Amino acid sequence: MSIPFYEEKNFTKIEEKIGVSFNNKDILVQALVHRSYLNEHRDFPLAHNERLEFLGDAVLELIVTEFLFENYLNPEGELTNWRAALVNGTNCALVSHEIGLDEFLFLSHGESKDANTKARDYILANALEALIGAIYIDQGWDITEQFVIRWVVTKLPEVLEQGLWMDPKSRFQEAAQEIVGVTPTYKVVKEEGPDHAKQFVIAVYLDKEQIATGEGTSKQEAQTSAAEAGLKAKGWKGPKIQILTRKPEDPIG
């Protein structure tokens, strides 16, 4: 099948980057077709990537789960949090940026203009899952597992060191209580915009000292942003956790 813009976009660059040579090039392209593109290009010969995303999401979670189960003896709750940090949209979008998927996406004209936004990161995270689904269909389990471990699971040391398995507000609170013995408080310092498009600025305090501010379209989002800024301002990482690495002689289960 002749795919429009295939040569122009040079999809072999992706294959070289990830070390996977697709037998069916069409499925690689389909993994990067956003639904919005088909609304403007109804004669495009491939479907959008949502079914591949559905498959890739499940494959990604299973590979990460199996890796954590086989390599760590930590309790189920901790492993669940670690897995969530590895497979969430933020990390998947980060991996997509590292691979360079953004320049290969098929997007509508409107979506193409919204670069460097949360909406674009959401699309990129879904595209990574779709790519994983495409690799699984085209190459099978072993190659897909190698891809996920190389690009996703290798983020685990940073997740553990930075405490990224906890949300920023929880991280900031635990660090504040442990280091300075104070529970953070949050205060709205600015609120503007119409009811349907509010923008909040919230400051986080330790006692009476303002540590940082954050913005968001909701109070919760602004508090999270403030907590992230607070962690950076203080140079605080996540809480320390005991990492129980499995030894070869340890029983499975």
Catalytic residues: 57, 129
Percent helix, strand and coil across the chain, each to the nearest 5: 60, 10, 30
Q: Taking a C-beta distance cutoff of 8 angstroms, is the pair 72, 245 a contact?
A: yes
Burial 66-84 (b: 16+ CB within 10 A, else e): ebbeeebebeeebbebbbe
Q: Which of 188, 174, 186 is nearest to 231 (CA)?
A: 174
**∠ at Cα 236 (233, 239), nearest 5°?**
155
Query: How many Å from the N-terminal Cα to the C-terminal Cα in the chain?
Result: 48
Q: For residue 164, count other CB atoms closer than 10 A to its CB.
A: 23
Instruction: State the Cα torsion 165-170-176-177 to the nearest 10°.
Output: -110
- The position carrying tokens 């980057």 is 17
Distances (CA, A) of 51 to 30, 71, 137, 239: 10, 31, 12, 38
- Which residues neighbour 29 within 8 Å (Cβ) at sequence distance 6 or greater? 3, 6, 11, 46, 106
25: phi > 0 → left, psi -120 to 50 → alpha, else beta; which?
alpha
